[in-house]
Structure 1
Amino acid sequence: MIDSLISDILFGFTGLISIINPVSGAFVFFDRTSSFNDGQRRMLAKRVAMNSFCVLLVAFFVGTPILHFFGISIEALRIGGGLAVAVAGWQMLYAPDRQPDAPQTVEQFDPHLANAKAFFPLTIPFTTGPGTIATAIALNANRTHKLSAFLLSSVASIVISVLVVLVVYFVYARAARLAQYLGVDGTRVALRVSSFLLLCIGVQIILTGLEGFLTPIATLRAGQ
């Protein structure tokens, strides 16, 4: 049982963290918080991590029932969410460069605006986007109603969520250090690369959704 739990945790963690890709997301986070100081950025990173934890728990435990209630398929979630991610990546890819010497004063920091930004777009779709949500739902799609297996799966889901958000917070809170290490030009290049990867991720999510939608149709026609 312990071996199965560890295996489930490792599988889920590696799958989710590879989709979230917090290192790439850190440059997006830094760009969206360019007017914040380090303390404000750490506070926002903590808020994003907390939001991401809630999103993952919802996806793990009630994601499938919610989709069924609204009649939304995994394929529709991937296509719609992938489109949102692709559009965001496209906009960031061709957005004009910001001034590197923009003042970072406390007066510019609006807590209400920062909290709103922490959820959208920093948590959704940049951190825990449709690919992450769909993956979390898929990990527990076959969850059994047997009590022992349900408890084991629940523990794995919680541990996976905690590990993921700890990595997200650790990397996002140090986004300024990454940018400082790369310098202004290096940060601009990294941001463009991250934006392009975000665009590609969105397109890939759309293609995965289309494949899941079209494959049964093609199989049905081939069988006729």
Structure 2
Amino acid sequence: MLDILQAAFKNTVLILAALLPIINPPGGAPVFLLLTHGASPDTRRYLARQVAWNASLLLVAAMFIGSYVLDYFGISTATVKVAGGLLVGSIGWKMLQTDDAHQDDAGARIEWTRPVAASRAFYPHTFPLTVGPGSIAVALTLGASVYQGGKRPIAAPLGALIAVVVVAITIYLCYGFADRIVGLLGKTGTTVMLRLTAFVLLCIGIEIFWGGASDLLEPLFQHRH
């Protein structure tokens, strides 16, 4: 039993070390706050719970059955990166084009009720802003690697589930209290942070797209040589 717990702990640490930096819930808090402008704290926390739940389901599905689904439809991980990179980059670009006055007007046009929040929970808040193509690619890789050479088959899924729960809790805390986290920066600091975050989001989208495109084009260059 002790050996199983130790192996599960090692898998948990491995998965957390790989997923948390790329999901980066603290870095996503300003984006979440911008896209929920005009929502009450209760509605924002409700949406944060939905996003955390959706993200956990998406990560578990990617780790346990994601590779089989992609194989069934004949979709490569590189293709997922290309499509997801374009999607993330487009969101970052739209955020860069939005000025502060337009943010206020846009927020006023949205009636932030729970049904509205629920309808927006998966797209865009869960995918691609929280669990994007990069996170899914990492989860797919982890799902394959944690089972390789494992003498304790229970430890791998146990460690994966514990890691996903920790990630979900972190997402909820960072998103649900994004107003307090960003509020510490003040109005000017928040504006600067939102602009920087939007630019970083655009860069991440381009990086994900380029990584997938490079994987797709690599066989062509190898064939030439």
TM-score computed with the length of structure 1 as normaliser: 0.89
Residue 203 of structure 1 is matched in structure 2 by 206
1:179 equivalent to 2:189? Answer no
How many residue pairs match? The answer is: 220
Label 1:219 to 1:150 Cα distance change in 2 as closer, same or farther (>3 A): farther
What residue is the counterpart of 1:154 in the other structure? 157
* One-letter amino acid matched to 2:131: T
Within the candidate set 136, 139, 145, 1:136 is matched to 139
Query: Cα distance, 1:210 vs. partner?
Result: 2.0
User: How far 1:101 sits from its partner (Å)?
Assistant: 7.3
| Code of the aligned partner of 2:30 | F
More moved, 163-172 vs 143-152: 143-152
Deviation at 1:99, TM superposition (A): 6.8
Match of 2:13?
10
| 1:89/1:195 contact within 8 Å kept | yes
Which residue number corresponds to residue 63 of structure 1?
A: 66
Structure 1 residue ranges without an equivalent (≥5): none
38 and 221 in structure 1: CA distance in 2 versus 1, 3 angstrom threshold = same
CA RMSD of aligned residues (A): 2.4
CA distance in 2, matches of 1:11, 1:195: 29
Which residue, out of 107, 111, 116, partners 1:108? 111
For 2:104 and 2:82, the matched residues in 1 are separated by 39
Corresponding letter in the other structure for 2:164: S
Name which of structure 1's ranges 142-151 and 131-140 shifts more when overlaid on structure 2.
Answer: 142-151
Name the amino acid aligned to 1:52: A
- Alpha-carbon distance change, 120 to 98 in structure 1, aligned in 2, over 3 angstroms: farther
Residue in structure 2 matched with residue 19 of structure 1 by the alignment: 22
**SS of equivalent to 2:54:** helix
- 1:33 is aligned to 2:36: yes
Equivalent-residue separation in structure 1 for 2:198 and 2:124 (angstroms) = 14
- Partner AA of 2:187 in structure 1: V
* 2:53 maps to 1:50: yes
Query: How far apart are 1:60 and its partner, in Å?
Result: 1.0
Letter in 2 for 1:116: S
What percentage of aligned pairs have identical amino acids? Answer: 34
Runs of 4+ in 1 over 6 A off after TM superposition: 99-102
